[in-house]
Amino acid sequence: MSILGSARPGSAPFARLTALDLAALAVALVLAIPLLSVCLSLLGGPSATFAHLVATVLPDYIINTLLLGVFVVAGVLIIGVPAAWLVATCEFPWRRFLEAALVLPLAAPAYVLAYAYTDLLDSYGPVQTTLRAVLGVGDYWFPEIRSLPGAALMLVFVLYPYVYLLARARFLSESATAMESARLLGRGPWRSFLTVSLPLARPAIAAGATLALMEAFADYGTVSYFGVPVFTTGIYRAWFSFGDPTGAAQLAALLVGFVALALYLERLARGKARYHETGRRDRRVTPARLTGVNKFAAIAFCALPPIFGFLLPALSLTQLLLEAGAPARDFWRHLINSLTLAILAGIVATAVALVLAFARHERPRGPVAKAVDFVSLGYAAPGAVIAVGVLIPFASFDNMLDTVTRSMFGSSVGLVLTGSIAALLFAYQVRFLAVALQSVGAGLERITPSVGGAARMMSRGNWDALWRVHIPLIAPSALTAALIVFVDVMKELPATLMLRPFNFDTLAVAANNYAADERLGFAAAPSLAIVAAGIIPCILLIRFIASSAYSRSESMPLP
């Protein structure tokens, strides 16, 4: 038995690196290549396409991206925080059902809602047709859904659960002591919420709003379908319409800057404030029973978001599918392609997350931990940015390989990595590894130090301890990580659209192509299949919500 080279948690940061540390550092370095290649594109000076975009449409990209982020953050806060507070601290009819139903919009991507509401609210859709029949008028004003506010509304409907889940978890874990103290000082329920509960929940609310903002910046399907010019649509146009990878990379670098700026401003706003709670946690706040108008208002407020964010779009898509008669003939091929990519990505991401999370767990203050934290930033980068960051180094490698084979063997190998499934899987790792790391890391944190120490003493090294002790203990967390990555890949559009092999469409790409051609009936089947895949983690979250007295959702990864 030998434990030579094994590092204990908290050991010196620059102690001798083990084989596990070196493997984790190598993986982190490879996964950092896309973000680094995007940022390094700025060093060569602006390309002709980038200069043209700066002089013409870049101001529109900046303004629309900022407005979209502002609208989405405001919307998810307006819906998510009050809904979380109502179900966590108040008692009213159907509360338990609505508490779970509020999670359902996570199952649907925003672009799926865009297709459904376009059909519902179009000039010849059921809403306007009924309106004309009832009012007997032919000329009237009706809000345009294909607009920036319309895109923001679609994103709000599917992203508010980020704020709802985290805020609800914080409100449920709140001690009764703080609220009772506020009541003794003469403050009613509403003022107690504003002055006590809301400030204490600020970190959770800010985390949820930041996740929603990142997803809004990353969206391509909704803004593209609604014709809203933002950074993600500009990146796609620079690459495919102008054929300029450098210009696309420089636009992507600016978008990464916007994401970094948003994260910095959130930390700056937090300042040195701390949000510890010193009251007793063994006694929760007694839920306030709502009566009269307040009861019905609470039911309506908690019921409307899942109705508009899940039920109506699902019914609309089902109606479109029934009118179309049957899915398009390529539907099953698209389904198999999506399942193949999602399963492979889930398995690979979970395996990589196990190595990285375990290495960080064993040496939490070393260079490995810093490298793993940097790789986690990939989740904050939009899919279009990741796609450009993957295409540039992969294309360079393929060109170099082709040059070598031509000079040595007189034959061309063509493109080996670019436009392959390998490129797609690599992009998925960069984009969604942070989700798997969060779940696996939470599982490792629940293992007591005594178990970890015994594993090191009785094993033949870190790899043996990971395989024989830690993986069996965190199997549920690992399965959760694989499941969530699976669902994220099923929904992912921009990176798949830019990196997929020729004639290898997924459900998301097929839905986008059909919708772009205004064939919403054919877009309904792949859209519903994506929603069905998203329901799986929602069911898990709903079961978790229903069975938890003291929620621990803060440590659960969000799909």
Question: What is the mean predicted confidence (pLDDT) over 5-14?
Answer: 45
**Is residue 361's pLDDT more than 90?**
no
How does DSSP classify residue 47? -
**Rounded to an integer, what distance in angstroms lies between the CA atom of residue 99 and that of residue 90?**
11
pLDDT for 9: 45
Token look-up 């709140």 returns 174
Residue 179 CA, chain-centre distance (Å), reads 34
The ranges of the chain annotated as CATH 1.10.3720.10 are 17-40+331-504, 57-325
Question: What is the mean predicted confidence (pLDDT) over 442-459?
Answer: 60
* CB-based burial label for 197 (10 Å; 0-12, 13-18, 19+): buried
Per-residue pLDDT band for 260 (boundaries 50, 70, 90) equals: confident
pLDDT for 548: 52
Output 371 or 13, whichever has higher pLDDT: 371
Find the range with the poorest average confidence among 62-71, 330-339, 381-390: 381-390
Find the range with the poorest average confidence among 44-58, 62-76, 87-101, 185-199: 185-199
pLDDT for 461: 56
Look at the pTM and tell me if it is higher than 0.85: no
Which of helix, strand or coil describes residue 90? strand
Per-residue pLDDT band for 3 (boundaries 50, 70, 90) equals: very low
> Mean pLDDT across the chain, nearest whole number?
80
Question: What is the mean predicted confidence (pLDDT) over 221-242?
Answer: 89
Residue pair 558/106 in contact (Cβ under 8 Å)? The answer is: yes
**Rounded to an integer, what distance in angstroms lies between the CA atom of residue 139 and that of residue 83?**
38
**Rounded to an integer, what distance in angstroms lies between the CA atom of residue 313 and that of residue 548?**
30
Residue pair 493/509 in contact (Cβ under 8 Å)? The answer is: yes
pLDDT for 28: 83
User: In degrees rounded to 5, what are phi and psi of residue 446?
Assistant: -80, -10
**Rounded to an integer, what distance in angstroms lies between the CA atom of residue 156 and that of residue 304?**
13
CATH number for the segment(s) 17-40+331-504: 1.10.3720.10
**Is residue 137's pLDDT more than 50?**
yes
pLDDT for 246: 86
Question: What is the mean predicted confidence (pLDDT) over 548-558?
Answer: 41
| Homologous superfamily in CATH for domain 57-325 | MetI-like (1.10.3720.10)
Hey, which of 28-37, 239-248, 303-312 has the most confident mean pLDDT? 303-312
| pLDDT tens digits along 61-82 | 999 999 999 999 999 999 999 9
